[in-house]
Structure 1
Amino acid sequence: MLLGKKRKLGRKIEDINTGEKLQLTEKIEDKDLLLYLGLTNDSNPLYIQHDFASQTVFEKPVVPTIMLAGIISSAISKYLPGPGTYIKEQRLRFIKPVYHYATIEFLLEVTEVDVKANEVTVRVEATDDKGNLAVEGTILANPPQMVNQLTTQAMDNF
C-alpha cells in the first residue's frame, strides 16, 4: 500500500548542482499504451489502429506525446530532484513521432539552480533507437522544501 508508507524525500535545492545528469532508457510496451488509453479514455485511432495509421503520414500507430511527457515527469519525481518535487512548468517539443515498441533514451541535465526561488531548470532530450532526437525541452521544478519541521514530524504518525 503506497499511501501509508513514509518515503524518503528527494534532494533539497542546496544539494543540487548545475551539470548533474540522469540518463534512462524506456521501452514502450503494449501494456504501457493500454494503461494510458484506459486511464484517459483517449481513443485516438492514430494511437491504436494500424489500419487507420497506415493511411496517414505516420504509416503506423504512434505513442501519445503525453505518455512521453509522463515518463519525463516521472523521472523528475523519482530521481532528479526526486520525491516531493513539484513541476511548475514544462516546455517540450515533439520533433518526431515515437512508435510502438520503441526504445527511447532520455537525458535530463540540470542547467540552472536558483536557490533563492527554490527552482531548478532541467534540460530534456529523448532519442529513439536510431539516435534521432524525438523530444527536447525544459522542465522548471521546485525541489522538496519543508516549511515547518514541527508540523511535519507531528503528522508522521497521523
Structure 2
Amino acid sequence: MSDSLDILENITYDELQEGDSATYVRTLTEDELVLFAAVSGDVNPVHLDSEFAAESMFRERIAHGMWSGSLISAALATVMPGPGSIYLEQSLSFKRPVKLDDTLTINLKVISKERKNRVIFSCDVRNQNDEQVVIGEAKVIAPTQKMTFNKPRLPKITIEHEPPAG
C-alpha cells in the first residue's frame, strides 16, 4: 500500500483555473547547502565560510539565491501543475537572505492561462516567520494528459563533516 505522499499527480491545463493555488515546503539543512554548492559550482564563501560570512552584510552564512529558485521549480514539477510540466520562464526578485535551518514555503498561484497550454504563475516564497524572501513569476506549459506516478526514491546523501579544529 502506498502513502499519498509517495504519489505525484498532475493538474492538467484544462483543470487549472485562475486563482488556483498550491504550496511546497522545504527546510535548508547544512548538507543541502553544501550539496547545492557542489552541484552548482557556486562556492562563494558567503555560503560556505562562517568566518568570511561573519564579516559580510548578512553577518552569517546564507543560502544560494538559486536554491530558493530551485524550490519553485520543484513545486511546479511536483505539485502544480506537476508531472509533465515544461518550465519556460522565471523571474525572481530576492527580498531577504535565506539562512541555515530556514523553512521556506513556496506559494504558487495561477495568474492566467494562455494559448498553447501556457500558464503564468505568481511565485511567493516565505520563511518560517512569514517574511517574503523571493517573489517572481513563472511560465510553464501545463500537461494536457492526466498522469499519476509513484514518487521516485532518491538516495539519502549526507556529507562527512570535519570535526571542529582545536
Q: Do both proteins adopt the same fold according to a TM-score greater than 0.5, normalized to the shorter chain?
A: yes
* Residue 32 of structure 1: aligned partner: 32
Question: Paired residues, what number?
Answer: 139
CA distance in 1, matches of 2:39, 2:118: 30
Query: Helix, strand or coil for the counterpart of 2:80?
Result: coil
Task: Measure how far apart 1:9 and its partner are.
Answer: 6.6
Q: Please, what is the CA RMSD of the aligned residues?
A: 1.7
Task: Measure how far apart 1:8 and its partner are.
Answer: 7.1
CA deviation map 1:31-76 (0-9, x unaligned): 2112211212221101011100000111001100111100110110
Following TM superposition, where does structure 1 have runs of at least 4 consecutive aligned residues deviating by more than 2 angstroms? Answer: 7-12
CA distance in 2, matches of 1:21, 1:98: 23
Q: Contact 1:63–1:97 at 8 Å: present in 2 too?
A: yes
Q: Contact 1:113–1:121 at 8 Å: present in 2 too?
A: yes
Q: Contact 1:10–1:143 at 8 Å: present in 2 too?
A: no
CA distance in 1, matches of 2:125, 2:95: 10
* TM-score where L is the length of structure 1: 0.82
CA deviation map 1:76-120 (0-9, x unaligned): 011111111111110110111111111112211111112x32111
Amino acid at match of 1:12: T
* TM-score where L is the length of structure 2: 0.78
Amino acid at match of 2:120: T
* Residue 120 of structure 2: aligned partner: 121
Q: Which blocks of at least 5 consecutive residues in structure 1 are unaligned?
A: 1-6, 147-158
CA distance in 2, matches of 1:99, 1:11: 32
The structure whose residues are more often helix, as a share, is 1
CA deviation map 1:96-151 (0-9, x unaligned): 1111111112211111112x3211111011112222111101101101247xxxxx
CA distance in 2, matches of 1:105, 1:40: 22
* Residue 131 of structure 1: aligned partner: 130
Amino acid at match of 1:70: S
CA distance in 2, matches of 1:43, 1:96: 20
Pairing 1:12-91 to 2, within 5 Å after superposition: 12-91=12-91
CA distance in 1, matches of 2:84, 2:59: 40
Q: Which blocks of at least 5 consecutive residues in structure 2 are unaligned?
A: 1-6, 146-166
* Residue 150 of structure 1: aligned partner: none
